[in-house]
Structure 1
Amino acid sequence: MRTENAISDLVLVDSVPDGFTVAGFAADVRAAVAPAAAAAPVPSEPDEPDGTVRS
């Protein structure tokens, strides 16, 4: 969990399941998005000072 950051969204719920933690929820979200993040193409870094990328 990040610290020293402002909360930009606030969601109010009636209740959460027993044993719910923000850390556990964050871990579940990371696990769910990891396959998509691993499959995403990585942009090439420029090779030359003018920003061109050599193949």
Structure 2
Amino acid sequence: MFVTSTVCVLVFLYITSVACRADREPECSRFHYEEQLLVKMVRMEFNVNAYSTDLTVFRR
């Protein structure tokens, strides 16, 4: 009886701890978002410059 109640209590504690972690929103920094946005903008600028160079080569 003691083992069964102990197992039940442990299972209950495990389920509640998992549920608490699932309810939290993911931690996201404003600076992380801005950094990722800046990286994407730099990549896009590089691609636009590359396409622009390709277009000038094809026009000749």
Structure with higher Rg: it is 2
Task: Specify which structure has the higher proportion of helix.
Answer: 2
Identify whether the pair has TM-score above 0.5, normalized to the shorter chain.
Answer: no
TM range (shorter): 0.3 to 0.5
**TM-score, length of structure 1 as denominator length:** 0.34
**TM-score, length of structure 2 as denominator length:** 0.33
